[in-house]
């Protein structure tokens, strides 16, 4: 993962690798793929899919497509990351289109992506990844604020702090069985709320 | 208000203090176990569509809070698979990943071996064809004294009479003395060099 903003030297190196790949040495893409695989997975793909196995597949397809189409990429003095990110988002769309079960959740994601996807306004991969992570978190936190207090606590303790069920139940002063019900309802409520916050009419209706 | 199990995704979510039905209780327990396994990194491949949808929400929440990352080994494997997929190299097992640059270098090895062998064979044929006439046949060997050469011992020992058959030591001494003479002669002829 790109841990720091790209320096001019890193950018020059990135340009050299891209040009080398465009001249036919596709293996030159390897350092770039290794650098951007983590931010693509952690901030672009997984938060939009919610399934680690699918996210890994989408990441692989994204990187493969980038290598196949590298000749079409035009270097504009900026990192290749926005281009990779756009490929990844398109792949996520494809997965959601094929999967009707999560369509409403996906629609919520699509709505958000259209607002934030402006590659021209970002020059650095890490800045983009940070911004995207913040945007996701704000959206999750806003949705959490709309939940009942006990549902919010159930999600906070179990999914964010990742405490064992027993500890979660103890903190809330309920039995484990009751905590299971609380978490179950909390996630259902979150799911409904998440879609509704994106302005999708009729979310949660059959 | 009680909930129905088939309303998991679309039905109204009851308030926190409403008693669950036995069906909801069972479903909640099943979902809690799925979450347990997912948090332990052992997400079951098979589950109902409703459970999967809810588990996706849980994963989205976790991913957004940064608690999910791709392991370095998985990341390397994904990059390698992507490059292989893009370049179209033959699929290999995940444990036998060959860096593509190295694989491409070795792709030419059979052709290099074939070309080199052909060149050597052609050069050998050319040399045979171009060599001066009469240069073939046996190589010239300089004559050497007989005592330097390997030779039979019949002349020294001669026919062995039956009564002398057990006297091998004498015969061996005779042969040894003869060969020693040859050795001395050869040594002296070379200026005392062995």
Kindly state whether A182 is in contact with chain B, defined as any CB-CB distance less than 8 angstroms.
Answer: yes
Same domain, B51 and B77: no
Residue B3 lies in a domain: no
Instruction: For residue A94, give the nearest of A126, A132, A54 by alpha carbon.
Output: A54
Q: How many CB atoms lie within 10 A of CB A175?
A: 11
Domain co-membership, B51 together with B86: no
Q: In Å, what is the CA distance from A182 to each residue of A150, B19, B33, B47, B53?
A: 7, 11, 14, 20, 17
B71 chain-A contacts, CB cut-off 8 A: none
Q: Are residues B87 and B60 in the same domain?
A: no
B114 three-state secondary structure: helix
Q: pLDDT-derived band of residue B138, with 50, 70 and 90 as boundaries?
A: low
Nearest CA in chain B to A33: B79
Comparing CB atoms, the residue among A137, A151, A181 nearest residue B20 is A181
Regarding predicted confidence, which is higher, A73 or B147?
A73
**Using an 8 Å Cβ cutoff, are A159 and B58 in contact?**
yes
The band of B63, judged by pLDDT with boundaries at 50, 70 and 90, is: confident
A84 near A62, Cβ under 8 Å?
Answer: yes
Q: Same domain, yes or no, for B79 and B54?
A: no
Ranges A144-148, A155-159, B147-151: which has the least confidence: B147-151
- B137 found inside a domain: no
Specify the number of domains making up chain B. Answer: 3
In the predicted model, is pLDDT for residue A206 greater than 50? no
CB A26 within 8 A of CB B83: yes
Looking at the domain assignment, is residue B98 inside a domain?
A: yes
Distances (CA, A) of B50 to A29, B5, B31: 40, 10, 10
The percentage of residues in chain A with a pLDDT greater than 70, rounded to a whole number, is: 80
In a domain, residue B78? The reply is: yes
pLDDT of residue A61: 94
| Chain B contact for A105 (CB, 8 A cutoff) | yes
Mean pLDDT of B23-37: 92
Residue B10 lies in a domain: no
C-alpha B103, offset from chain centre? 13
**Pair (B36, B81) in one structural domain:** no
- How far apart are the C-alpha atoms of B81 and B149, rounded to whole Å? 71
> Do B105 and B82 fall into the same domain?
yes
Judged by a CB distance cut-off of 8 A, whether residue B105 touches chain A is no
pLDDT of residue A121: 46
**pLDDT over 90, % of chain A:** 46
Contact between residue A24 and residue A68 where contact means Cβ atoms under 8 Å apart: no
Is pLDDT at B147 greater than 50 in this prediction?
yes
| A37 pLDDT above the threshold of 50 | yes
Q: Report the pLDDT value the prediction gives residue B161, as an integer from 0 to 100.
A: 83
| Domain match, B89 and B122 both | yes
Looking up tokens 């290099």 gives: B112
Q: Residue A199 above 50 pLDDT?
A: no
Does some domain include residue B135?
no
B85 and B104 fall within a common domain = yes
Query: Which domain does B159 fall in, by range?
Result: 146-189
Domain-embedded: residue B8: no
């Amino acid at each position: 993962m790109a841990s720091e903003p790209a320096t001019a030297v890193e950018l020059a190196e990135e340009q050299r690798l891209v040009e080398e790949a465009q001249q036919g040495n596709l293996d030159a893409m390897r350092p770039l793929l290794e650098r951007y695989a983590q931010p693509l997975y952690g901030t672009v793909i997984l938060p939009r899919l919610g399934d680690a196995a699918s996210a890994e597949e989408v990441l692989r397809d994204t990187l493969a497509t980038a290598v196949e189409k590298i000749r079409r990429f035009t270097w504009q003095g900026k990192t290749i990351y926005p281009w990779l990110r756009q490929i990844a988002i398109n792949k996520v769309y494809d997965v959601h289109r094929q999967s009707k079960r999560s369509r409403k959740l996906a629609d919520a994601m699509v709505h958000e992506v259209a607002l934030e996807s402006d590659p021209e306004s970002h020059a650095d991969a890490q800045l983009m990844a940070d911004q995207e992570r913040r945007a996701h978190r704000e959206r999750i936190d806003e949705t959490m604020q709309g939940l009942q207090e006990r549902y919010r606590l159930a999600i906070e303790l179990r999914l964010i702090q990742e405490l064992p069920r027993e500890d979660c139940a103890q903190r809330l002063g309920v039995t484990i069985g009751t905590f299971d019900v609380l978490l179950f309802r909390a996630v259902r409520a979150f799911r409904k709320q998440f879609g509704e916050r994106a302005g999708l009419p009729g979310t949660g209706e059959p | 208000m009680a909930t129905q199990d088939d309303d998991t995704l679309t039905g109204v979510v009851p308030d926190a203090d409403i008693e669950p039905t036995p069906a909801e209780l069972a479903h909640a327990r099943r979902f809690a176990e799925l979450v347990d396994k997912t948090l332990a990194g052992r997400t079951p491949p098979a589950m109902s569509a409703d459970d999967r949808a809810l588990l996706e929400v849980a994963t989205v929440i976790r991913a957004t809070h940064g608690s999910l990352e791709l392991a370095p080994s998985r990341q390397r494997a994904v990059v390698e698979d992507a490059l292989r997929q893009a370049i179209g190299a033959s699929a290999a097992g995940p444990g036998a990943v060959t860096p593509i640059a190295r694989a491409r270098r070795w792709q030419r090895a059979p052709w290099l071996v074939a070309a080199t062998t052909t060149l050597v064979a052609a050069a050998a044929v050319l040399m045979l064809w171009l060599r001066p006439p009469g240069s073939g046949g046996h190589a010239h060997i300089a004559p050497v004294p007989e005592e330097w050469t390997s030779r039979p011992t019949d002349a020294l020992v001669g026919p062995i009479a039956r009564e002398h058959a057990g006297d091998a030591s004498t015969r061996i001494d005779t042969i040894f003395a003869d060969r020693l003479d040859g050795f001395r002669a050869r040594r002296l002829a070379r200026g005392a060099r062995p």
